[in-house]
Amino acid sequence: MNKQVAEMNYLYNASVVEKEFSTERLLQCLKEEHMYPIEGMIKQYERYEHMIKESESIEEVFFILSGCIIASKGKMRTPYLYGSQDIIGLENLTMESQSSYSFEVISDKVKVMKYKKEDVIKKLFNTQEGYLYHYVYMQDRFKQIVRREQLLRLNAEERVGSALIILSERYGERIVSSTIFRFPKSINKGLLARYTNLNPNTITNVLQKLHQENILSRNQKGLYVDISILKAKIAHMF
């Protein structure tokens, strides 16, 4: 009995659940063929192409393998970003639900693995503890939304700094054995301005200041962010 209790406590430990039912594990689960096999396909989208338009019925679930997508709604100025390891179409598990956002490709290309939504739902319902995949996904989306709302309450310099940290850690490329990240190329100043709800001139001024403080550097391969120094600068946020 004690062993069973220990196993249950382990299974439902928050950090364990996040690891065992992550996006990567969900994709692996969908690919497994020994229990309720379903078929997915890899598709590539080009820049400016819309994967889903606002109010369209969501009939597929997309796992982003590479590239970057912007999610916007109506005339909403501050969009959400989706990139590698994110999922589109899993928020609502009811069939024929409508998209609240329009999803547009902003990188040169986006590569996804997509499945019919109906198949994904059936697979989850036929998988032991399958509901936890959806739970972990929704927790992650909620966390991203909260961080974004917190960011929008900061002053301009802190807002830009926080955005650089969030987007670098989630979608950037870490330089081996360092605290430096290469910022995602597809997120330019204009998009950063929209994401932070600041005007482009303010973004330029803050970035120049961070360059002078050796927090940012640039070469032909892109923009580099020293996350360690930047976090120390705005320590109350991180």
Final residue belonging to a domain, choices 78, 96, 129: 129
* CATH (domain of 7): 2.60.120.10
The two three-digit tokens of residue 172, written as one number: 């950037």
Does residue 72 sit within a domain?
A: yes
Does residue 23 sit within a domain?
A: yes
Whose structure tokens read 């979608």? 171
Statement to judge: residues 118 and 212 lie in one domain: no
Is the predicted pLDDT of residue 202 greater than 80, yes or no? yes
pLDDT classification of 1: cutoffs 50, 70, 90:
very low
What is the pLDDT of the chain when averaged over all its residues?
89
Statement to judge: residues 102 and 197 lie in one domain: no
Statement to judge: residues 100 and 179 lie in one domain: no
Does residue 238 sit within a domain?
A: no
Statement to judge: residues 118 and 24 lie in one domain: yes
Does residue 141 sit within a domain?
A: no
Rounded to the nearest 10 degrees, how much is the dihedral formed by the CA atoms of 50, 52, 54, 59? Answer: 170
At 11 the pLDDT is 56
Statement to judge: residues 84 and 167 lie in one domain: no
Q: What is the spatial distance between Cα 42 and Cα 112, in angstroms, rounded to a whole number?
A: 6
Statement to judge: residues 103 and 213 lie in one domain: no
At 75 the pLDDT is 74
Does residue 137 sit within a domain?
A: no
Over the stretch 83-117, which tens digit does the pLDDT of each residue have?
A: 998 999 998 888 778 999 999 999 999 999 999 99
Statement to judge: residues 119 and 183 lie in one domain: no
Is the predicted pLDDT of residue 82 greater than 70, yes or no? yes
Q: What is the spatial distance between Cα 77 and Cα 224, in angstroms, rounded to a whole number?
A: 26
Does residue 138 sit within a domain?
A: no
Identify any residues that bridge with 15 across adjacent strands, giving them in sequence order: none
Statement to judge: residues 11 and 43 lie in one domain: yes
The helix (H) or strand (E) run that includes residue 228 is helix 227-233
How many structural domains is the chain composed of?
2
Does residue 146 sit within a domain?
A: no
Final residue belonging to a domain, choices 129, 164, 192: 129
User: Could you report how far apart the first and last alpha carbons of the chain are, in Å?
Assistant: 41
Does residue 135 sit within a domain?
A: no
Domain range for 102: 2-129
Whose structure tokens read 């598709």? 43
Statement to judge: residues 164 and 223 lie in one domain: yes
pLDDT classification of 175: cutoffs 50, 70, 90:
very high
Model pTM? 0.86
Q: Which residues contact 82 (CB under 8 A, 6 or more apart)?
A: 64, 68, 69, 70, 71, 88, 103
Q: What angle do CA 100, 129, 95 make, to 5 degrees?
A: 30
Q: What is the spatial distance between Cα 225 and Cα 238, in angstroms, rounded to a whole number?
A: 15
* CATH (domain of 211): 1.10.10.10
Q: Is 68 helix (H, G, I), strand (E, B) or coil?
A: strand
